[in-house]
Structure 1
Amino acid sequence: MPISIFGFQALWSPYFLGVLVLITILYFLVTVKWRDKFKDSEPLKQKEALLFVSGMLLLYIIKGGPVDLLGHIIFTMHMFQMAFLVLLAPPLIIMGIPSWLWRSIINRPVIKPVFDLFTKPMLAIIIFGMVFSFYHIPLIFDFVKMNSLLHAAVSILLFGSALLYWWPVVNNLEGAYKFHGLKKLAYLFGLSVLITPACALIIFSDTAFYATYTDGQAWQQAMALCVPAGTLAQLGLTGPELFTNMSALEDQRTGGITMKVVQELIFTVFLWLVFYEWLRNENKNADEITAKTIEDRKNMALHRHNA
């Protein structure tokens, strides 16, 4: 059955799109038109603008487009959505905001001590790992999925904790802590290890344990978060089985596998970029040492000649 039966609002989330458009407009107003109002500001780089817009576009695709609706219908799509929400959108947005704007936001008496605390690498990775894992405990997951305000709050919490996790990896703010080289590789690997138990529980379970994807009444309550009540009542649907050929258990296992596969693919790209950066710096340092050695030898030879 096509998901178009749920209507335009459920498919394209126009209100969420409006919010993201307003945020994007504000971003360009601050970084271009109002830039002179900020101390030590610099012209917006094309790369930064592209990264930020890409982050906003990705947020809309996974939380506002048909993917979000499918995430309420099929668990596999929920995990696909979750992977991009916490593993790709946050670094794009962090890198897309200029350092001078980050400095203006963070360097405030109330914000700075709190931000410095929660972006400490060990605390950031533990918080994100715990938020992700606890959210996917069946009892908590089903309760959250059936309450619109709670679901929105948890989505913001997940995204916020992901921003804190990615900060030590991708920020370019002078004076802020940032991993380099092999430490960055270890930090990325650490998160992969932390979220593995939750994914393993989902993949290797013998039963489908999320009521919002197995119980008709719970599924309808969860669907009410993105489908207008009137539309849902008219359709008279009883569960997700009309939209997928997979059983609930197959869907659950596929969802866990999807999360791990997407996570590994994203991390592989970042690991390659980190390794390339580290190798380039090592070669640069080696070239500098070689050049200095040659210069020292020339100076010594000149000194001996003059003597």
Structure 2
Amino acid sequence: MVPISIFGFVALWSPYFFASLVALFLLYLLITVKWRDRFSGSEPLKRSELISFSVGMILVYATKGSPVDLLGHILFTMHMVQMAILLLVAAPFLIMGIPGWIWKKVFSVPVLGSVLRVMTKPVISLLLFSAMFSVYHLPLILDTIKLSLPLHAVFTITLFISALFLWWPIVNTIGVTAKLQGLHKVAYIIASAILITPACALIIFVDTPVYATYQSGESWLQAMALCVPASTLGTLASAGLSGPEVFTKMPILYDQQLGGVIMKVLQEIIYGVVLGRIFINWFRHERDNADELTKKQLLERERLSMYS
């Protein structure tokens, strides 16, 4: 097998993308620490927020800037690992990493705030993400997107934004939009798991390779141009580089099916962790507010007894 190092440093580590993320992180620190006093209603940056944002940024680079991204264009399995980590792990960490006072200012922008309030409504955000994820992995759509750098960039960013909308009702704490509580969160997570199952099932149970950009030939070489400099790719193509089979012994169909399985397994693990945290927080809330909840129940019973 040929090592992926033949693609060179730029393709493996995406230094320009790394520099962009570093600049974004420095801007985050300037706004939340150095320039914070310039904003009304600002609050000191919490350690948990800094950690969450840092983890989110590291995961974004790991999935879209490290060799994982290159492997995601060679193996469909790695593409699905990318999707799971970027959309289901990095997205909620970034939401939690941005201080609440910044989110409040974002939601206070007249037009933008109105749009965000609509898009983060639980039903809309749930259906939007599920639809975009499913459409993205239709063979015709995925192959078309992977053959165009502008389309790939626009659709990836849009899909990631839909993932932010998906997680907003679960993790936001600012109170400017409705936040799901208790069993509603559980139902929301379960519904999300169910809605993307058909897309994963089609990938898992199809008996032929369906993605032209993950097979040998011109389409695969064109798709590799998304992460490999044209000069490097041209040199390798002229040297006889033909397709993903030179990098792996895994048959294309097995790679495709394994990708669907891994996406579903990772989703279940991630959602299981989230559900566990929801149950723990719910239990703590019930325990810490037992007296208050009991009083409310007694008052409600007295009110109902007056009408019986």
**TM bracket, shorter-chain basis:** over 0.9
Letter aligned with residue 209 of structure 2: A
RMSD: 1.4
Partner residue of 1:281? 285
SS in 2 for 1:88: helix
What's the secondary structure of 1:140's corresponding residue? helix
Letter in 2 for 1:256: G
Taking the TM superposition and a 5 Å limit, the aligned residue runs for 1:137-216 are 137-216=138-217
| C-alpha contact (below 8 Å) 2:104/2:176 kept by paired residues | no
Residue among 246, 252, 273 paired with 1:248: 252
Q: What aligned pairs does 1:112-151 form with structure 2 within 5 A after superposition?
A: 112-151=113-152
Match of 1:298 in 2: none
Structure 1 pair 196/291, CA: closer, same or farther in 2 (3 Å)? closer
1:52 aligns with 2:59: no
Local SS of the residue matching 1:110: helix
Q: Which of 221, 238, 241 pairs up with 2:242?
A: 238
Displacement of 1:163 after TM fit?
0.4
Separation in structure 2 between the aligned mates of residue 269 and residue 167 of structure 1, nearest angstrom: 17
Greater C-alpha Rg: 1
Give, in whole Å, the separation in 2 of the partners of 1:50 and 1:274. Answer: 20
Percent identity at matched positions?
56
Residue 117 of structure 1: CA displacement? 0.6
Question: How many angstroms apart in 1 are the aligned matches of 2:184 and 2:282?
Answer: 10
Distance 1:164 1:291, change over 3 A: closer
Asked if 1:270 corresponds to 2:274, the answer is yes
Q: 1:219 and 1:261 mapped to 2: Cα distance?
A: 27
Q: Corresponding residue for 1:303?
A: none
Equivalent-residue separation in structure 2 for 1:12 and 1:33 (angstroms): 30
- Structure 1 segments (4+ residues) deviating >2 Å: 287-293
In the superposition, the TM-score normalised over structure 1's length comes to 0.93
Structure 1's 289 and 183: CA in aligned 2 closer, same or farther, altered over 3 A? closer
Equivalent-residue separation in structure 2 for 1:212 and 1:292 (angstroms): 60
Q: Distance in 2 between matches of 1:82 and 1:257?
A: 13
User: Which ranges of structure 1 fall in alignment gaps of 5 or more residues?
Assistant: 294-307
- Does the CA contact (< 8 Å) of 1:95 and 1:171 recur in 2? yes
**Does the 8 Å contact 2:91/2:163 carry over to 1?**
yes
- What does 1:2-151 correspond to in 2, within 5 Å? 2-151=3-152
Task: Name the CA distance, whole Å, in 2 between partners of 1:222 and 1:290.
Answer: 61
Q: Distance in 1 between matches of 2:56 and 2:13?
A: 17
Shift of the alpha carbon at 1:112?
Answer: 1.1
Report Cα offsets for 1:168-224 as digits up to 9, x if no partner.
000011232111111101101111001000000000001010000114110000001
Deviation digits for residues 43-80 of structure 1, max 9, x if unmatched? 00011001001100100000000000000011000000
Between the aligned partners of 1:168 and 1:289, the Cα distance in structure 2 is 24
Aligned equivalents of 1:204, 1:50: Cα separation in 2: 40
Give the letter for the 2:207 counterpart: D
Q: Which amino acid aligns with 1:7?
A: G
Can you list the C-alpha shifts for 1:231-250, whole angstroms capped at 9, x where unaligned?
Answer: 11222311000111111100
Checking the alignment, whether the CA contact within 8 Å between 1:38 and 1:104 is kept in structure 2 is: no
Amino acid at match of 1:255: G
Q: Does the C-alpha gap of structure 1 residues 292 and 219 become closer, same or farther in structure 2, counting only changes over 3 Å?
A: closer
* Structure 2 spans left out of the alignment, 5+ residues: 298-308
1:39–1:221 Cα change, 3 Å = same
Give distance in 2, aligned partners of 1:229 and 1:130: 33
What SS does structure 1 have at the residue aligned with 2:16? helix
1:224 corresponds to 2:225: yes
For 1:46, the aligned partner's letter is R
Q: CA–CA distance in 1 between the matches of 2:149 and 2:68?
A: 18
Q: What amino acid maps onto 1:159 in structure 2?
A: F
How far off is 1:37 after superposition? 1.6
Q: Distance in 1 between matches of 2:275 and 2:4?
A: 37
Task: Give TM-score scaled by structure 2 length.
Answer: 0.93
